[in-house]
């Protein structure tokens, strides 16, 4: 059972790192090559449906004059961090 929790924890950590890289590389997705493009496509297939679903339900948060933050990535990060906490 402990092995299962360890594997789940590693998987969630990979998802968190993937979320970070996904958010940083999204504007440059057309310029990615090789293994980086394959990894991006993998995380895109995971996160894009979730983000689209959340964007329909959660409006952007205003942080300045005409400046808004998309909350979908933040919500996914909070959920992943909460799951990591539950596993320990």
pLDDT tens digit sequence for 41-83: 999 999 999 999 999 999 999 999 999 988 999 999 999 999 9
Nearest Cα to Cα of residue 55 among 37, 72, 31: 72
**3-class DSSP state for residue 67?**
strand
Question: For residue range 7-30, what is the model confidence (pLDDT) as tens digits?
Answer: 999 999 999 999 999 999 999 999
Residue 38 · residue 25 · CB < 8 Å: no
Q: Which domain holds residue 19?
A: 2-87
> What number of residues does the chain have?
88
CB neighbour list of residue 60: distance below 8 Å, 6 or more residues apart: 68, 69, 70, 71
* Number of domains composing the chain: 1
pLDDT at 3: 87
């Amino acid at each position: 059972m402990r092995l299962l929790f360890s594997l789940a924890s590693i998987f969630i950590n990979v998802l968190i790192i993937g979320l970070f890289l996904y958010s940083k590389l999204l504007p440059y997705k057309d310029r990615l090559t090789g293994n980086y493009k394959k990894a991006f496509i993998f995380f895109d297939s995971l996160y894009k449906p979730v983000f689209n679903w959340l964007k329909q339900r959660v409006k952007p948060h205003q942080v300045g004059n005409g400046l808004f933050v998309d909350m979908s990535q933040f919500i996914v990060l909070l959920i992943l961090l909460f799951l990591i906490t539950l596993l320990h």
